[in-house]
Chain A
Amino acid sequence: EAQVTQNPRYLITVTGKKLTVTCSQNMNHEYMSWYRQDPGLGLRQIYYSMNVEVTDKGDVPEGYKVSRKEKRNFPLILESPSPNQTSLYFCASRPGAWGNTEAFFGQGTRLTVV
């Protein structure tokens, strides 16, 4: 089954404790991205990757890092989480960066930073 898998689904952590949210897709998609969803703000892109070893900042990249060492995986790293990073995070993948392709989303990770 074609899917985007995120882990964990729920995470509560303390300020400053490094964490990683994993994302994996089995569709051989080139393009992957991370979004955060906050009430009234919709989805905002954090980082994206057009292919292996090619990553770039989205609209709200501060406080986040990513890596793309393999095509299928695109982890999101919070080196020193802060309470304003409490949010619902979605990983998404697309076949490519061109316009006429839809995004496939993971199940989401609800992160709480206390």
Chain B
Amino acid sequence: AQSVSQHNHHVILSEAASLELGCNYSYGGTVNLFWYVQYPGQHLQLLLKYFSGDPLVKGIKGFEAEFIKSKFSFNLRKPSVQWSDTAEYFCAVYSSASKIIFGSGTRLSIRP
């Protein structure tokens, strides 16, 4: 069965530090990948998505992700985080069963 793994459950960074959140998926077919963000008390919002083409995807708020097919990875990056990036981040993959499967999430805390 398809699955998504996010190995970092909680990441704590200082402002201006660089961020990389790991995401690995298990699905051998054509992949469609997403990163969603959930700010405290809010619903999930799309950060970025990969369907095809350039494996380096740029999203909103300075985030980007790189699809590496050989590693089954889709890691999220940001060169310099801000306090307002404090949120929970979910990696997700479209599965063959017509649904989107979410990882367990990574909570990001930013120290001002």
Q: Which residues from chain A sit less than 8 Å from chain B, CB to CB?
A: 31, 33, 35, 40-45, 48, 50, 58, 90, 92, 94, 97-100, 102-103, 105-108
Contact = CB atoms under 8 A, between A and B. Distances in A.
Which secondary structure dominates where chain B touches chain A?
A: loop
A105 B47 CA distance: 13
B84 interface: no
Contacts of A108: 42-43
B106 to A, nearest CB: 10
Nearest to A44: B102
Nearest to A58: B99
A42 B44 contact: no
Contacts of B51: 99-100
Given A40-B9, A45-B101, 18 more contacts: A41-B104, A42-B6, A42-B103, A43-B44, A43-B90, A43-B102, A58-B99, A92-B44, A94-B100, A97-B99, A99-B51, A100-B32, A102-B34, A103-B34, A105-B43, A105-B45, A108-B42, A108-B43
Interface of B: 6, 9, 30, 32, 34, 42-46, 49, 51-52, 90, 94, 98-105
B43 A106 contact: yes
The 3 closest A-B pairs by CB, nearest first: A99-B94, A97-B98, A99-B32
Contact of A45 (B34, B46, B99): B99
B40 to A, nearest CB: 12
Contacts of B101: 45
A73 B94 CA distance: 23
A31 B49 CA distance: 18
Contacts of B43: 90, 105-108
